[in-house]
Amino acid sequence: MILLTKPQLSKKKKKNGYFKWYYLVMLFALLTVRVLQYYPKGWHYFMFDFCYYVNGLALIHMFICPQNTELFQMIFVFANGPVLLAIVVWRNSMVFHSVDKMTSLFIHCFPPLYTFSHEWLDPTTSRSQLRDSSSLTWGVRDDLSFRGWIVWPTIFYWIWQCLYLWKTEYMDKEYLSTHSNITTSMRWFVNDHNNFLNKFATKLCRKLHLLSPIEKFDASNLKTKIIFVLFNFIYFLVWVLPSSFFHFLFK
């Protein structure tokens, strides 16, 4: 696994300048195709999900403020925590003849790859170059601050969550209520009874008496929406905590 393998850098500086352009071009091309595929099927609301938000933050860091340490740390936590695990949760697979499956894999894999390459292969920011120099920047780059690990990720997570709720529960509420064919993350979660998270959440909510023994989740119900938001945040917190392991792995 690439995140568990410490790269062996040669004496010659490795160039990483092309990666961000490859990322940008591929993301633009794949998302353009995805819009064309998803809109007729009513799946386009998936493109407001958290993983797309993280890809957007990664692009901001690449092209606008690549030296911003706390922004990078926040992206690192997002990418190597909840976004990376989403490959399993959303059952992504590497199917080369399927543009849809490869796009999903790209969206979840490339933020971690970017943080890896920025940390190790960018000659202006990589740990190896800073470690070999006398620059005081090394001490800042090496430490994952509490703000970068917990505070800023939590704040930016809730910024995304509030924007998502504003979009789906206020701005487009009437549209979604009259178009039951439109699939959102919550509707997928509620309707996919074979999904592990659905089974786990249903069982837990019944134990906590949040649902009756025969009650099921209903995407139009306020209680289901609150539970969905809370479970999203719990999932986020659970997988943000161990993401720090990857940051310290290469010390």
Token pair belonging to 172? 């487009």
Is residue 17 in some structural domain? no
User: Do residues 177 and 187 touch, judged by C-beta distance below 8 A?
Assistant: no
Is residue 98 in some structural domain? yes
Measured distance CA(125)–CA(62) in Å, rounded: 12
How high is the pLDDT of residue 159? 98
Is residue 176 in some structural domain? yes
pTM here? 0.85
Is residue 191 in some structural domain? no
Mean pLDDT of all residues in 220-245: 90
pLDDT level of residue 249 (50, 70, 90 thresholds):
low
Is residue 199 in some structural domain? no
User: Do residues 241 and 185 touch, judged by C-beta distance below 8 A?
Assistant: no
Residue in the structure block whose two tokens are 């039951």: 180
How high is the pLDDT of residue 132? 46
Q: Residue 249 in 3-state DSSP? A: coil
Residues listed for the chain: 251
Query: Tell me: the pLDDT tens digits for 125-139?
Result: 555 444 444 443 333
User: Do residues 219 and 229 touch, judged by C-beta distance below 8 A?
Assistant: no
How high is the pLDDT of residue 246? 72
Is residue 149 in some structural domain? yes
Range of the domain at 169: 44-122+141-181+222-250
pLDDT at 142 over 60: no
Is residue 8 in some structural domain? no
User: Do residues 85 and 51 touch, judged by C-beta distance below 8 A?
Assistant: no
Query: Tell me: the pLDDT tens digits for 144-155?
Result: 788 888 999 999
- Please state the domain count of the chain: 1
Burial of residue 210, with CB atoms counted within 10 A of its CB: 0-12 exposed, 13-18 middle, 19 or more buried: middle
Measured distance CA(36)–CA(23) in Å, rounded: 20
Mean pLDDT of all residues in 171-181: 93
Is residue 31 in some structural domain? no
Query: Tell me: the pLDDT tens digits for 14-48?
Result: 555 788 999 999 999 999 999 999 999 999 999 99
pLDDT level of residue 189 (50, 70, 90 thresholds):
confident
User: Do residues 85 and 196 touch, judged by C-beta distance below 8 A?
Assistant: no
pLDDT level of residue 1 (50, 70, 90 thresholds):
very low
Token pair belonging to 29? 């091309």
